[in-house]
Structure 1
Amino acid sequence: MTAPGELADAKDAGREVVAHRTIHAGRVFDLVGEEVRLHPDDEKPVVREYLDHPGAVAVVALRDGEAGEEILLIRQYRHPVRAQLWEVPAGLLDVAGEDYRAAAERELYEEADLRAARWDVLVDYFTSPGGSDESLRVYLARDVTDVDGDERHEREDEERDMATVWVPLDEAVMAVHAGRIHNPSAVVGILAAASARARGWAPLRPTDAEWLR
């Protein structure tokens, strides 16, 4: 059995990539194909196609409300699924050399008109490891303040009509379990925040914590 503290995913660079090609170069991410030898004694490599993604960050913003902690949710239209989804602020790591926390701060400012004085790493995950290399880090942002009106970011495209709402964290957890929230960063972030709160925030990690990506 695995001892406590030893359960961890790990990089595996031991698989020989025989060939790599770009099938389609997209605006945000590419579709690539690779021939990989899964075992050293395999005579023929297998083909794996996946989305080559820059990665992303998301932010669970919390504030103290009358009934306890409240989480900020944003309603955004997502065309591939033809749905309006409740989400947390999030964005791509598409600025070369940008610090991960700085990217999260930027997204919180641009999408929610908020700044936060306290930041921690809440949870990391691969969004769809069978078909994409996207890794996403979810931060917990607390001690939040509103951005002044004249400093607010001018939103475009889908972001123009985004509604925002502060919801009790317990209510958000119930919405996840009831199947009423579907965005993965929101689902993961909400449940991770509730779990960390139940343990007195002990599981939180520093913003420069190691990230498997």
Structure 2
Amino acid sequence: MSRKLFEKTIKIDPVFKGKIIDLEVQDVELPNGEQGKREVVHHPGAVAVICVTDSEKMVLVKQYRKALEKAIAEIPAGKLEKGEDPRLCAQRELEEETGIKAAYMKEVASFYTSPGFADELVHVYEAADLSTGEVHTDEDEFVERIDVTLEEAKNMIKTGEIHDAKTMYAVQYWEMMKK
């Protein structure tokens, strides 16, 4: 790695250790020799699933997001457990949230959600060979499944009903694959 783009960690102060994230403040040596501080959020990673039914509808779940103080529609997604295989997590999350089983998961992409301060990596899969399973969300998770056409999904982006990057990415991916 180029020295001019590297920041050496000098000191780490743990600030918060939570159920989902950990936060620390790092003292760093900047490429120019000066010192700075970085607030870093550690997250175990997540999966997200692009699921389009045989009737050409994308499966979304609508849920209330406390950080936003509103409900938004999203593709099924969930947090990885330590050491968990992302593909298996994607299959589990899809069935838990939507009642759909996928015999096959194709890895589409992975991306960092907010690399300026967090290390969360989201693995995106496309579900295939679908069958009916059973919805069984976590005890503190309340979701409503909605199936939408491509045009409905694009309109939901315009109105802010879809307002997160992973779902916007999924809609764009779906549109590209249809061409």
Global fold match (TM > 0.5): yes
Does the alignment pair 1:88 with 2:89? Answer: no
Query: Paired residue for 1:130?
Result: 116
Q: Give the TM-score of the pair, scaled to structure 2.
A: 0.88
TM-superposed deviation, 1:135: 1.1
- Asked if 1 retains the 8 angstrom alpha-carbon contact of 2:98 and 2:135, the reply is no
Does the alignment pair 1:97 with 2:114? Answer: no
Instruction: Give the whole-Å Cα distance in 2 for the aligned partners of 1:124 and 1:152.
Output: 26
Between the aligned residues of both structures, percent identity stands at 33
SS in 1 for 2:160: coil
SS in 1 for 2:51: strand
SS in 1 for 2:110: strand
Instruction: Give the whole-Å Cα distance in 2 for the aligned partners of 1:157 and 1:27.
Output: 13
Instruction: Give the whole-Å Cα distance in 2 for the aligned partners of 1:18 and 1:196.
Output: 46
- Asked if 2 retains the 8 angstrom alpha-carbon contact of 1:60 and 1:88, the reply is yes
Question: Size of the alignment, in residue pairs?
Answer: 177
Instruction: Give the whole-Å Cα distance in 1 for the aligned partners of 2:119 and 2:29.
Output: 18
Instruction: Give the whole-Å Cα distance in 1 for the aligned partners of 2:137 and 2:173.
Output: 31
Instruction: Give the whole-Å Cα distance in 1 for the aligned partners of 2:145 and 2:72.
Output: 11
- Asked if 2 retains the 8 angstrom alpha-carbon contact of 1:29 and 1:53, the reply is yes
Q: Give the TM-score of the pair, scaled to structure 1.
A: 0.75
SS in 1 for 2:93: helix
Letter in 1 for 2:88: A
Letter in 1 for 2:91: E
The unaligned stretches of length 5 or more in structure 2 are none
SS in 2 for 1:76: strand
Does the alignment pair 1:173 with 2:157? Answer: no
Query: Paired residue for 1:36?
Result: 28
Superposed CA deviations along residues 158-211 of structure 1, whole A, max 9, x for unmatched, are: 32xx2111111232123224433112221122212222332xxxxxxxxxxxxx
Query: Paired residue for 2:12?
Result: 20
Letter in 2 for 1:35: D
Does the alignment pair 1:53 with 2:53? Answer: no
RMSD, aligned α-carbons: 2.1
Query: Paired residue for 1:71?
Result: 58
Instruction: Give the whole-Å Cα distance in 2 for the aligned partners of 1:53 and 1:154.
Output: 21
TM-superposed deviation, 1:14: 4.1
Instruction: Give the whole-Å Cα distance in 1 for the aligned partners of 2:135 and 2:46.
Output: 22
The list of structure 1 runs, each at least 4 consecutive aligned residues, that deviate by more than 4 angstroms after superposition, is none
Letter in 2 for 1:131: F
Alpha-carbon distance change, 197 to 122 in structure 1, aligned in 2, over 3 angstroms:
farther
Alpha-carbon distance change, 154 to 93 in structure 1, aligned in 2, over 3 angstroms:
closer
